[in-house]
Structure 1
Amino acid sequence: MAYSPQSSVRAELARAKVNLALHITGQRSDGFHLLDSLAVFPQIGDRIAIEPADTLELIVDGPFARDLEGGTENNLVLKSLNGFAESAGIVVPKVKITLTKRLPVASGIGGGSSDAATTLRLLEDITGHYLAEDELHKLATSLGADVPVCLEPEPQFMRGIGEDLSPGPSLPACGIVLVNPKVGVETPAVFKALEHRKNPPLPKAPAEFDDLAALTHYLESSRNDLQVPALSVCPEIADVLTALDADSRVVFTRMSGSGATCFGLCENTDTRSIEMDLRSAHPNWWVASGPLR
């Protein structure tokens, strides 16, 4: 079955996935780790644009385009396109996809997963074929463990191996600064360095955080169980956390995911100035900022 384009071009921000807290609660017999995490999606990310074309084309540009390995044929965006066509029962659409890679690769903020999820959402709109929720979730899971949570870029709790999703609390109006020392961290190496694999789950969270102080208070009772092992793999993470902690405008700092990206929470009015100061002091680091919600 063919498809008929619904509009000329669709574009969307593929938001970074930031783990405000990440507890490792166990390990299955097949080796997969169990987790309990609060994931959020700030207004920082890559950009995906899709438009009808005469031939299928993927263009990858942006500051981190060269860091993607394996060529465009192995890109998750194209895998998403092919998987979507198969699930929707249509021929592979002839479209031009432009991926503007603004997020560092292998950085603990789900850039590739968010690219894949955003591609799926855009393909539904541009082809007019909308998959059933369970079918879309199954397709997303086949593309990667973090892809399902990125389908809806809203605060979510991730449990199990990441497939057990539920709505997270409402976030306050505040800002976030993301910092990466431009050092790639391999997730298997971090898990290999993890000493304790059965830890307590997240504390119960309220349905809404009224302000930044309330969110900070909650996060102080949580952890990222991968931060210590990641520090042993990538000592540069400590430099990033130290720089964020040294800024009085930053009220809370932590590493996201398996690293090496770290985040600092602050008031919305301070995000841009913190970003500029960090860029000036550490020109070799990647720094980005924006609203948390």
Structure 2
Amino acid sequence: MTVVKEFAPAKVNLTLHVTGQRPDGYHLLDSLVMFADVGDRITVRPSDTPIMIIKGPMADGLPRDRTNMVARAADAMAVSANIQLEKNLPHAAGIGGGSSDAAATFRALSEISGKPVPDDLLAFGADVPVCMNGRAARMRGIGDEINPVPDLPALHAVLVNPKLPVLTVEVFKRLRNHNNAPMPDDLPRGASSRELISWLSEMRNDLQEAAIEAEPIIEHVFNTLAVTPGCLITRMSGSGGTCFGIYGDAETAASAAGRLRQDYPGWWVAATRLNG
């Protein structure tokens, strides 16, 4: 029996500039995205009866009906399969967990069935198109403009989520300025990790202030990350509430993650490598 396994990596918005709002209400973004080596896992087997199994440390609270992103992807592909989701990433966390799961499901079902992935991936969420390739990219517009950025250096990071879901709609409700400057036209391609970090320090996540207003604990996460030894920059990913710190090497990141797990056992903490 054919078994297809797909990794669904965490998506990290290193920057997120809100550059406008369309008449239909959708916001325009300009974001540099990289993907982590931590994530969910999708396993797909052919089955006469559609089955979705969800397990893993972050399985609690996920919808188990057809509104689940994995189920939505399977319905769109019209492929009967046994799909198992190993949920390792917190949900409603700003790291594209559901979108990455959907993208991984599309890839796996396309492989076992030979069917093409649907053209209108935006219908499943703004992050699904960028998650389909799972590689560093500049994402603009409403998520429909994806430009690969293949020559970024790897970064060592710690992702922290206080296990408190943050709803994107609530964050955008609190956003005061909907028209901000985009990133520069030229990204720091070919830069060293230190040069990239220096460049990132001049960029923004325009949703941070609104997210902190929605969930004040995010500010505490920022402050806690910032004082870990060797932390070079802190920022929030997406609309929150996952924050990240970037470090000079894997050992320093791992040490920081260990300290955070000890001090805050109720938080989700992951040392990771962000790949270019």
In the superposition, the TM-score normalised over structure 2's length comes to: 0.94
Q: CA deviation at 1:169?
A: 5.0
Aligned equivalents of 1:207, 1:125: Cα separation in 2:
35
Which stretch shifts more, 201-210 or 213-222?
A: 201-210
Q: CA RMSD in A?
A: 1.5
Which residue number in structure 1 is paired with residue 42 of structure 2?
A: 48
Aligned equivalents of 1:244, 1:80: Cα separation in 2:
35
Which residue number in structure 1 is paired with residue 137 of structure 2?
A: 156
The 3-state SS of whatever aligns with 2:253 is helix
Aligned equivalents of 2:189, 2:76: Cα separation in 1:
36
The 3-state SS of whatever aligns with 2:37 is coil
- 1:223-269 CA-to-partner distances (Å, cap 9, x unmatched) read 00000111111110111111111012221110011100001111123
Q: CA deviation at 1:168?
A: 2.2
Q: CA deviation at 1:209?
A: 4.2
Aligned equivalents of 2:215, 2:149: Cα separation in 1:
30
Q: CA deviation at 1:109?
A: 0.7
Which residue number in structure 1 is paired with residue 108 of structure 2?
A: 122
Which stretch shifts more, 49-58 or 38-47?
A: 49-58
Aligned equivalents of 1:205, 1:291: Cα separation in 2:
24
Which residue number in structure 1 is paired with residue 263 of structure 2?
A: 281
The 3-state SS of whatever aligns with 2:15 is strand
1:67-86 matches, cutoff 5 A: 67-69=61-63, 71-85=64-78
Aligned equivalents of 2:164, 2:39: Cα separation in 1:
18
1:1-293 matches, cutoff 5 A: 8-69=2-63, 71-85=64-78, 92-93=79-80, 95-131=81-117, 136-138=118-120, 140-206=121-187, 208-266=189-247, 267-293=249-275
Letter matched to residue 96 of structure 2: G
Q: CA deviation at 1:147?
A: 0.8
Count of residues in Structure 1 that have an aligned counterpart in Structure 2: 274
Aligned equivalents of 1:150, 1:32: Cα separation in 2:
19
The 3-state SS of whatever aligns with 1:149 is helix
Q: CA deviation at 1:199?
A: 0.5
Q: CA deviation at 1:175?
A: 1.2
Aligned residues of 1:27 and 1:197 also touching (Cα < 8 A): yes
The structure that has the greater radius of gyration is 1
Structure 1 alignment gaps of length 5 or more: 1-6, 86-91
Aligned equivalents of 1:199, 1:47: Cα separation in 2:
36
Distance 1:22 1:270, change over 3 A: same
Aligned residues of 1:15 and 1:43 also touching (Cα < 8 A): yes
- 1:201-222 CA-to-partner distances (Å, cap 9, x unmatched) read 0123445243221111111121
Aligned equivalents of 1:107, 1:189: Cα separation in 2:
13
Which residue number in structure 2 is paired with residue 4 of structure 1?
A: none
In the superposition, the TM-score normalised over structure 1's length comes to: 0.89
Aligned equivalents of 2:263, 2:62: Cα separation in 1:
27
Structure 2 alignment gaps of length 5 or more: none
TM superposition outliers: structure 1 runs of 4+ over 3 Å: 204-207
